[in-house]
Amino acid sequence: MKSCSAMESTSCIKFSLMSLIWIIVLMNEIHGYKACLETERTALLEIKSFFISVSDIGYDDEILPSWVGEDDGMPSDCCDDWEGVKCNATTRRVMQLSLNYTERLNYYDGTSASLMNMSLFHPFEELQSLDLSGNGFAGIYENRAYDSFGSLKQLKMLNLGFNYFNDNILPYLNTLTSLTTLILNWNSIEGSRTKQGLANLRYLQVLDLSWNADMTSGSLTRLGRLLR
Ligand SMILES: *[C@@H]1O[C@H](CO)[C@@H](O)[C@H](O)[C@H]1NC(C)=O
Ligand SMILES: *[C@@H]1O[C@H](CO)[C@@H](O)[C@H](O)[C@H]1NC(C)=O
Ligand SMILES: *[C@@H]1O[C@H](CO)[C@@H](O)[C@H](O)[C@H]1NC(C)=O
């Protein structure tokens, strides 16, 4: 540097170092401060890979296209720039995930139904609202599923509508004790297999069971009636 030759060499190095530190601090103020959590960003990219893996071939570019590491060389913030992701303004942690109609299939019927991996949502401790409707899921990977549901301690809204879930999902849903809204319309739930049903969901205000297989009897119909 030209300005350096005029100064003593040690103070010159000090000056350069200080400038460098200030630049790093400023960059952090501009980017790091507002950025979404790295663990959650990584977890979101895993969710994207999952949806690509369960979709038919040829849809890769249409699945969550805004979920990218960089956008034309510009850093892309998962809180501000990614579709379907909403973060808490203070903590910058993911609060809301809209993954409705994300899986892409050429044919939409029960035979191509896939399983949802709930472990993917493990890192989102502040998640309040999760929409997984319209994805053609027939169930969940049950390995460690109770742990995964158990980590969603703040989940208030869950939409699983327009899938192929049956009564096997109910014991898992019954662990989501902070739920206030549970949408299960257009699935294959009968509500008769389990006596306990969703009795643990004591804050539940809205339960949508419309257009399910055969909801004529069982604890869920009674619970639905109580809520109405
Ligand atoms: C965001 O997080 C802060 C700190 O934990 C909390 O007080 C606030 O209620 C949260 N906001 C929403 C909208 O949940
Ligand atoms: C997903 O749901 C949100 C509202 O919850 C809606 O605005 C959005 O258009 C839906 N996306 C798709 C692909 O249906
Ligand atoms: C589910 O997701 C977790 C976390 O990404 C992963 O470790 C696990 O292998 C997945 N399980 C299946 C069956 O794909």
Structure confidence by residue, pLDDT tens digits, 169-178:
999 999 999 9
83 CB-near residues (< 8 Å, 6+ apart): 64, 65, 66, 67, 98
pLDDT in the model for residue 185: 93
pLDDT: is 51 or 35 the higher one?
51
Mean pLDDT, the chain, integer? 83
Of all ligands present, the nearest one to the C-alpha of 154 is: 1
Q: Which of 36, 37, 79, 88 to mutate to test the pocket of ligand 1 (most atoms within 8 A of CB)?
A: 88
CB 79 within 8 A of CB 98: no
User: CA–CA separation, 27 vs 25, rounded Å?
Assistant: 6
Q: Which of 51, 98, 157 to mutate to test the pocket of ligand 2 (most atoms within 8 A of CB)?
A: 98
Inter-CA distances, 217 with 71, 206, 211, Å:
52, 19, 14
Confidence of residue 47 (pLDDT cuts 50, 70, 90): very high
Q: Is the pLDDT of residue 147 over 50?
A: yes
CA of 98 to the centre of ligand 2 (A): 7
CA of 86 to the centre of ligand 1 (A): 12
- Ligand 1 touching residue 217 (CB < 6 A): no
CA of 196 to the centre of ligand 3 (A): 29
- Ligand 2 touching residue 131 (CB < 6 A): yes
Q: Is the pLDDT of residue 1 over 50?
A: no
Residue range 4-13, pLDDT digits in tens: 555 566 665 5
Q: Is the pLDDT of residue 52 over 80?
A: yes
CA of 143 to the centre of ligand 3 (A): 9
pLDDT-wise least confident of 21-25, 79-83, 126-130: 21-25
Confidence of residue 144 (pLDDT cuts 50, 70, 90): confident
Q: Does domain 37-223 have CATH number 3.40.50.2300?
A: no
Confidence of residue 99 (pLDDT cuts 50, 70, 90): very high
- Overall pTM > 0.85: no
Mean pLDDT on 201-216: 85
- Ligand 1 touching residue 216 (CB < 6 A): no
Q: Is the pLDDT of residue 226 over 70?
A: no
- Ligand 1 touching residue 91 (CB < 6 A): yes
Task: Give the torsion through C-alpha atoms of 90, 95, 100, 105, to 10 deg.
Answer: 90
Residue range 100-113, pLDDT digits in tens: 999 998 876 666 67
SS3 string of the chain?
CHHHHHCCHHHHHHHHHHHHHHHHHHHHHHHHCCCCCHHHHHHHHHHHHHHHHHCCCCCHHHCCCCCCCEECCEECCCCCCCCCEEECCCCCCEEEEECCCCCCCCCCCHHHCEEECHHHHCCCCCCCEEECCCCCEEEECCCCHHHHHHCCCCCCEEECCCCCCCHHHHHHHCCCCCCCEEECCCCCCCCCCCCCCCCCCCCCCEEECCCCCCCCCCHHHHHHHHHC
Q: Which of 114, 117, 144, 147 to mutate to test the pocket of ligand 3 (most atoms within 8 A of CB)?
A: 117
Q: Is the pLDDT of residue 53 over 90?
A: yes
pLDDT: is 228 or 189 the higher one?
189
Q: Is the pLDDT of residue 19 over 90?
A: no
Residue 130 corresponds to which tokens in the numbers above? Answer: 């999760």
pLDDT in the model for residue 106: 86
CA of 102 to the centre of ligand 3 (A): 18
